[in-house]
């Protein structure tokens, strides 16, 4: 596996059924997938046993807030909105991509007197994440 940097990453979102567009001013993003388990250990076992049940995931994006949000795509991130996503950690022409659908669960705009206005968005993934 090659070591890569994240500065070529691309994050695309759109409302469900729309046209995917790159989100402007992205600083960081993350995709987290987890699996729930149930324990099936019984008497006589010497090692705990588990089965996978449900999987879930979240997507988080941190960006420099762009007040021309129609151009940056940040205006799609209204809490409760269903969005489609395509995420390319090393750029659109290299490496893997991750795509799916999620519901915006949080939107935060932060500012300090000596810094940039920044935005954070979180989605609860509602479909299996496709790796391409």
10-58, pLDDT tens digit by residue? Answer: 999 998 888 999 998 999 999 999 999 999 999 999 999 999 999 999 9
Phi/psi at 8 (5° precision): -100, 5
89-121, pLDDT tens digit by residue? Answer: 998 888 889 999 999 999 999 999 999 999 999
Phi/psi at 120 (5° precision): -130, 135
| Domain covering 10-37+50-131 in this structure, CATH number | 2.40.10
In 3D, which of 17, 1, 13 has the Cα closest to residue 88? 13
Q: Distances in Å between the alpha carbon of 125 and those of 24, 51, 56, 102, 130?
A: 21, 22, 7, 4, 11
> Model-level pTM?
0.86
Tokens of 38: 């149930």
End-to-end CA separation in angstroms for the chain: 17
68-79, pLDDT tens digit by residue? Answer: 766 688 888 999
CB 61 within 8 Å of CB 86: no
């Amino acid at each position: 596996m090659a070591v890569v940097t994240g500065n070529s990453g691309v994050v695309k979102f759109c409302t469900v059924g729309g046209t995917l567009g790159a989100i402007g001013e992205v600083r960081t993003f993350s995709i987290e997938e987890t699996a729930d388990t149930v324990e099936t250990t019984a008497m006589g076992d010497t090692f705990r046993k588990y089965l996978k049940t449900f999987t879930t995931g979240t997507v988080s994006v941190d960006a420099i807030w762009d007040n021309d949000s129609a151009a940056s795509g940040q205006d799609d991130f209204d809490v409760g909105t269903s969005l489609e996503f395509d995420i390319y950690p090393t750029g659109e022409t290299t490496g893997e991509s991750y795509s799916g659908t999620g519901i915006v669960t949080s939107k935060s705009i932060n500012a300090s007197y000596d810094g940039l206005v920044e935005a954070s968005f979180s989605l609860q993934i509602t479909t299996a994440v496709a790796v391409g």
